[in-house]
Amino acid sequence: MTTYDVNVNGSLFDWNLETGDFHFENDEVVMFWVNTAFKTLFDSIEEIAGEMESELVLETAGYRTGKIVSQFYVDTIGNTDDILTKLPNTYVTAGWGLTDVVSYSIKDRKAVITVKNGWEPKVRLAQGKKDEGKFLPGHWAGVFSGLFDANVWYRVVKSQIGGDDYSQYEFFASDITPTLNVQSLLDDQTRKARAELEQLTEQRTQVLSDIIKEISSPIIPLMDSILVVPLVGPYDELRGEELLNRTLLNLPHYKAEFLVLDLTSLTGFDDYTLDFIQKFVGSAGLLGTKCLLVGISPELSIRITQSGHTVASIPCFTILQQGIKYALDQQGLEITRKK
């Protein structure tokens, strides 16, 4: 004998051992061990997708399978009252636990059901979970959405896994749908990822800023009486004030008579930069240090002239060597070859 047909309280099971087919209510089904195979399936989904994501996957899958169930019975039975009378028997024979449709109102699009010894609490207990799953309530939300021809969502009132004798779900018309829940999760993840990226960017920017502060415009003590500060790249208010403060704080330590500002690698020579240089020179002068400008190219001198700024009171030189020689001459010093 290769075929078996069993009627369990009105629900039909059919096996064909020759073809390997197994049918329940005239559609193909498959069996899983709840505490092992089903648990492993749920564990794998959670491991790959994450706990929150896996719960949403199960809730969405439950809802959509519920819509399929409702459509099947609408097509085969048609009358909603008759469908809701038959469904508890269908679910208990399928191993989904003792389901009782406590109340429902097609007009108000409301319903209350209880489920005892359902397969989902058993799986979650095997997983070590202590809260109600989302597949079964999501599934029945899909069933009632199909039967009521409206968006229906759920509220968990009692939970068997939480210690109650059974799980109880309330259903009501709502704008909530699995699609909106998925979009909400994606939005939350996007916001979280953006916040993490912004935080990481801020941290790295701060690190780079600190590095730039350390390596840009170093104070180079050429001799006891002469300091050189190369200005590299463009200067904005932040970089300008940082360099000015750092240099002025260190000038008394070096006790230098001359401070040489090397403009050779300076870029973005705008009005702010000119004001900044003049402020730099004036501040250093108040501390008793004379400033020289070196690295003045013909292009730079033209731009200074066109800008209307004047540096006539500041000794200016084309190259660094000229500025150093000038500073030495002013101190009555010179560099000679050792005899």
Instruction: State residue 256's pLDDT score.
Output: 86
For residue 185, pLDDT over 60 is answered with no
Q: 301 pLDDT band (50/70/90 cuts)?
A: confident
Question: Per the structure block, which two tokens stand in for 252?
Answer: 């008394």
**Average pLDDT in the 59-82 region?**
92
Mean pLDDT of the chain: 86
Instruction: State residue 266's pLDDT score.
Output: 83
Handedness of CA 88, 116, 97, 46 (dihedral sign): positive
For residue 68, pLDDT over 90 is answered with yes
Q: Which of 27, 39, 20, 31 is nearest to 69 (CA)?
A: 27
Domains and CATH numbers, the chain: 1-30 (no CATH), 32-176 (3.30.1380.20), 217-330 (3.30.750.24)
Residues of the chain above pLDDT 70, percent? 92
Q: 170 pLDDT band (50/70/90 cuts)?
A: very high
For residue 118, pLDDT over 60 is answered with yes
Instruction: State residue 158's pLDDT score.
Output: 95
Instruction: State residue 188's pLDDT score.
Output: 64
CA angle (76 as vertex; 71, 80 as ends), nearest 5: 65
**Average pLDDT in the 160-178 region?**
90
Q: 274 pLDDT band (50/70/90 cuts)?
A: confident
Residues of the chain above pLDDT 90, percent? 39
Instruction: State residue 186's pLDDT score.
Output: 63
175 to each of 136, 150, 151, 153, 172, how far by Cα in Å? Answer: 19, 9, 6, 8, 10
For residue 215, pLDDT over 80 is answered with no
Which of 178-192, 287-301, 308-322 is most confident? 287-301
CA distance 116 to 165: 7
**Average pLDDT in the 114-140 region?**
92
Q: 184 pLDDT band (50/70/90 cuts)?
A: low
CA distance 63 to 79: 21
What order do you get walking across the sheet with 167-173 strand by strand? 98-105, 110-116, 167-173, 152-158
Question: What φ, ψ does residue 260 adopt, rounded to 5°?
Answer: -100, 115
- pLDDT one-digit tens code per residue, 216-235: 668 888 888 899 999 888 88
Question: Are the C-beta atoms of 321 and 299 separated by less than 8 Å?
Answer: no
Helices (H), the chain: 39-49, 51-76, 80-93, 119-127, 135-148, 178-215, 237-254, 271-286, 298-307, 320-330
Q: How many CB atoms lie within 10 A of CB 42?
A: 22
Handedness of CA 66, 72, 74, 78 (dihedral sign): negative
Q: 102 pLDDT band (50/70/90 cuts)?
A: very high
